[in-house]
Amino acid sequence: MAELLLKHSFAAAFLLTVLSLTSSFTTVESSSFSQNLSPSSLGLNKPEKLSHLHFYFHDIVVGKNATAVRVAQARTTTASSPFGVVVVFDDPLTVSPDIGSEHVGEAQGIYAFASQTDSSLLVAYNFAFTEGKYNGSSLTVLGRNAVSSAVREMPVVGGSGTFRFARGYAEARTQSYDLKTGNTVVEYNVYVLHY
Ligand SMILES: *[C@@H]1O[C@H](CO)[C@@H](O)[C@H](O)[C@H]1NC(C)=O
Ligand SMILES: *[C@@H]1O[C@H](CO)[C@@H](O)[C@H](O)[C@H]1NC(C)=O
């Protein structure tokens, strides 16, 4: 019995060796999975540009035109904050605090109340632009938004289209807050490096 097991384990070890040799050969031979490119092949040989974008974000949480919806919350919590609430939003972006002013895109994503003691948010969203040379391009924001602070800074971690390889930061300042409805207008200054 012991001898049989030993034979089996030799066979298994042999098979494993053959398999791993085969797969390492395949890796070496396959060149389409990954290759080095010259940065100029993607137009990255020119200097990066620094762009400043300025717009207003409208978070409408009540009414039939709401642009932000609560999708989850904690069943029980002892926190002195809305800890656990998750909101999905598709908020219009305009050039002035007036929602009827020129529309430049949407902020689309999620914010979650991630502090047990205040209204600090974890945010994960995209600015999806629809205007001019930025139409169809996006910037991705991932970070912390301590909404009670006068100025909140969030990292811009990437982008698409005009904003490929983008990085930078977004500064948010509350422009107005409706105590009755919770609707908020936020001024954004976004600074990004991109090609
Ligand atoms: C909702 O949007 C429509 C169309 O823009 C507008 O006419 C209406 O006044 C809005 N309703 C509210 C409650 O804001
Ligand atoms: C933005 O791009 C879309 C899709 O190509 C197009 O339908 C739309 O008219 C463009 N908008 C502006 C303001 O250029």
Ligand 1: lining residues by beta carbon, under 6 Å: 63-65
Residue 135 carries which side chain, given as an amino acid letter?
A: N
- Tens of pLDDT along 140-168? 999 999 999 999 999 999 999 999 999 99
At residue 32's C-alpha, the angle toward residues 28 and 33, to 5°, is 75
pLDDT at 24 over 50: no
Report the nearest-CA residue for atom 12 of ligand 1.
Answer: 65
- Tens of pLDDT along 76-128? 878 889 999 999 999 999 999 999 999 999 999 999 999 999 999 999 999 99
Ligand 1 center–CA 65 separation, angstroms: 6
Mean pLDDT of the chain: 89
Q: What superfamily does domain 45-194 belong to in CATH?
A: Allene oxide cyclase-like (2.40.480.10)
- Taking the CA of residue 160 as centre, how many other CA atoms within 13 Å lie in the half-sphere pointing to its CB? 10
Q: Ligand 2 pocket: which of 104, 129, 130, 160 to mutate (most atoms <8 Å of CB)?
A: 130
Distance CA 133, CA 194 (A): 14
Q: How confident is residue 31, by pLDDT bands cut at 50, 70 and 90? A: low
Q: In ligand 2, which atom is closest to the CA atom of 132?
A: 14
Distance CA 116, CA 171 (A): 24
Report the nearest-CA residue for atom 13 of ligand 2.
Answer: 131
Ligand 2 center–CA 12 separation, angstroms: 60
Ligand 2: lining residues by beta carbon, under 6 Å: 130-131, 135-136
Statement: the pTM of the whole predicted model exceeds 0.75: yes
